[in-house]
Structure 1
Amino acid sequence: MQHIRTLRHSGCFAWHVGVDANPLCRRWDRIEAVVVAVLIVVACAMIPVAWWVGHAVYDAGVRTAATQTATRIPTTATLTQPAPTAAGGQDPGTRTKVPAVGQWRLPNGAQRVGTVAADVGAPAGTAISIWIDASGAPAPAPMSRDQIIMQAGLGVCYTALATLVLLAAAFRLVRWRLDRARFLAWEREWAYVEPRWMRRRGADGTP
């Protein structure tokens, strides 16, 4: 029984993809089946491509993080005056970061005063961990491992999404062209069959 059910499912699949000997399966149906098979193969082939894109993005992120770590120095800034109590009308309870004036020491021992990101309402004298570049100006922290992994994951997702969109668009275009060909073929066949069918109905006395 299981063998019969398997054969039945196989026959249904063959009928749907147009590879059986069904006379109702036209040339356009077989072309569509071939196109679907090709698109499936392309989609499967894009899996390692998406993985390669993610790996390349990850490697690029690692190199960027290494460069940032080599050219930036962690230090501590001290606020010289209280940070603003609100940022653009935002609720102070949200503890958003606001620009504040602070000072920090450079590797050569010199003092630098500038703008740093501090918590809303932070009092003067608050110590804030910052990163500075070779010129001594504040700079973003080097990319973390989590950020690198997130970028690599986004690269994989974007590649897969772009592939699916392009394949779906290609299938829709091919399906539209094949449907037009089907309709034209049906019109030609009906133009050939209709006169004979009408004459037969008249000969049989069918109204």
Structure 2
Amino acid sequence: MARTHGTKVRRVRLWRWRRNPLRRRSDLIEAWVLLATLVLALSAAAFAGLAAAAAVDGALAERRDRIRAVPAVLTRDAAHAPPAPASGNEDDSVWAPVRWTAPDGTGRTGRAEVEPGNKAGTAVTVWTDPEGRLVSPPPGGAEARFQIVMAGVTIGGAAAGSVLLGGRLVRSRLQRRRLEEWEAEWRLVEPSWRKRMTG
């Protein structure tokens, strides 16, 4: 809200909270809605973000517990193996055939990411699930922290955005109602105002 002094306009802060003849009941309700929306948005962002981060952290920990690193041997030179698709690794790893032993003692073969210069017979490490099947290594260190933080930020932001959107819808409905009240009051006042102006 602004007050005018001659040609100067001065903005009055928190005018909805102050008693004045122009403040309506809907203005005060809107002020409370705005305050409640901000508090709820911050609370929802913190709660949902922390919950999401904890869930991702727990899922990564469970995955680390389920899979294990096992020794394997390259069965063919990796020099001319096809490059690994974008895996997030900074090195130029390639897919090459490897052989390892499953938990039940049987020999297994498959393809795993290895360094491109390795020769056949080179010992490498692969990751397997409880059944002895090849899986990708679990994210750790900076990559795991990044996933945890991004999950928290994304879910927290979405929760806060939902609350802010709900608050915006309530405020727009209050504004519509206020305009309807003004129009109804103007219809009552306008005839006497018109008489005064023409009289």
Tell me the TM-score normalised to structure 1 length. 0.70
In the alignment of these two chains, the number of paired residues is: 185
Q: Contact (CA 8 Å) 2:73, 2:121: kept in 1 or not? A: no
Partner Cα distance (1:47, 1:168) in 2: 11
- Aligned partner of 1:35 in structure 2 is 33
- Aligned partner of 1:167 in structure 2 is 163
Q: Is 1:141 aligned with 2:118?
A: no
- Aligned partner of 2:62 in structure 1 is 63
CA distance change for structure 1 residues 189 and 201 in 2, over 3 Å: closer, same or farther? same
List aligned pairs for 1:103-114, cutoff 5 A: 103-105=99-101, 111-114=107-110
Match of 2:185 among 189, 193, 196: 189
CA distance change for structure 1 residues 65 and 135 in 2, over 3 Å: closer, same or farther? closer
For residues 152-194 of structure 1, give each alpha carbon's deviation from its aligned partner in whole angstroms, at most 9, with x where no partner exists: 3123212321222112211221122112112211211221222
Q: Contact (CA 8 Å) 2:127, 2:137: kept in 1 or not? A: yes
Partner Cα distance (2:92, 2:101) in 1: 25
SS at match of 2:189: helix
CA distance change for structure 1 residues 200 and 107 in 2, over 3 Å: closer, same or farther? closer
Partner Cα distance (2:130, 2:162) in 1: 45
- CA RMSD in angstroms, aligned pairs only: 3.4
- Aligned partner of 2:14 in structure 1 is 14
Q: Contact (CA 8 Å) 1:65, 1:144: kept in 2 or not? A: no
Amino acid at match of 1:67: R
Partner Cα distance (1:98, 1:129) in 2: 14
How far is 1:199 from its partner? 1.0
Partner Cα distance (1:116, 1:64) in 2: 19
Partner Cα distance (1:54, 1:135) in 2: 29
Q: Is 1:118 aligned with 2:114?
A: yes
Between Structure 1 and Structure 2, the one with more helix by share is 1
CA distance change for structure 1 residues 41 and 25 in 2, over 3 Å: closer, same or farther? same
Amino acid at match of 1:159: I
- Aligned partner of 1:3 in structure 2 is none
How far is 1:34 from its partner? 0.9
CA distance change for structure 1 residues 56 and 113 in 2, over 3 Å: closer, same or farther? closer
Partner Cα distance (1:134, 1:59) in 2: 19
Amino acid at match of 2:14: A
Unaligned segments of structure 1, at least 5 residues: 1-10
